[in-house]
Structure formats: structure tokens, C-alpha cells
Structure 1
Amino acid sequence: MTWRWRYENANGGEVTDGPLPRELFPSQADAESWLGENWRDLLENGVEKVDLLEEDRVEYAGMSLRAE
């Protein structure tokens, strides 16, 4: 199984253009650690929210990259 992030803009639309990394991870923990190190770069490239997917199954969706 592989894990990956899907990137969303403020309106919930998927962000597919630009220099965004398309990493695949062997575990949920690896994916979450990567996000903890890279969320600022994602924000700078127009990503506002992320979804975590295991293969095609959504583990969680709509997680904001901005502090509440």
C-alpha cells in the first residue's frame, strides 16, 4: 500500500499545476512527517488544504495548512 497527499485550493478544487511534489510514502506516518516538514512550501504554491489517501481510499480530507 502507498500513501499520498492530494492538494486543494481554498475552494476545495484539486491543485495539479505548478512545481508541487508528488511523493508516494510507504506508511501514513511517513506521509504525515513529510507534510510536517513541507507544509509552508505547499502554502507558498497555492495549496490551502490537503487530503491523505491510502491508494484510492481517503483517510482524512480537507485538512487546512493554515493555523486556526
Structure 2
Amino acid sequence: MFEDAAGDPVPVDVGQPSDGFPTQADAETWIGETWRDLLDAGVEQVRLLEDAHEVYGPMSLRPAE
């Protein structure tokens, strides 16, 4: 799930598979490869879901200062 800084959903299409990712590791790898594009699209944080249940999050896409 993609969210702005307030936690509101951000609809984006940055090439994620429409049917989701086969594993958590695949999802994490994809986020690691596309976080800059997500930020450019207005996404500030992400939540990882599995079958509509939150696995973890929110995770900021901003680099630690």
C-alpha cells in the first residue's frame, strides 16, 4: 500500500505486478529498486500487506538523516 506523509493512500502505477508479489522478499526487493520513483510519484511511506493483513509498516521511503 502506498501512502502520503499523512497515511492517506496514493494511487500510483510504477510497474508493480497487478497480482502482487510471490514472496515478501520479492516485494522488498522491488521497493528497494523503485523507492525513488515512488517518492517522485508522491509516495512517502509504504505498508507491506499479505492477503489484506499488514505484515509491516508504515516504512518511510525517505533516507535516514
Q: TM-score, normalised by structure 2?
A: 0.86
* Distance across 2 between alignment mates of 1:45 and 1:14: 12
2:40 corresponds in structure 1 to: 44
The structure whose residues are more often strand, as a share, is 1
**Large movers: runs of 4+ above 2 Å:** 18-23
SS in 1 for 2:62: coil
CA RMSD in angstroms, aligned pairs only: 1.3
1:56 aligns with 2:57: no
TM-score (norm 1): 0.82
What is the match of residue 2 of structure 2?
7
Q: Which runs of 5+ in 2 are unaligned?
A: none
Q: Which runs of 5+ in 1 are unaligned?
A: 1-5
**CA displacement, residues 17-50 of structure 1 (integer Å, 9 cap, x when unaligned):** x444442100000000111100000000000000
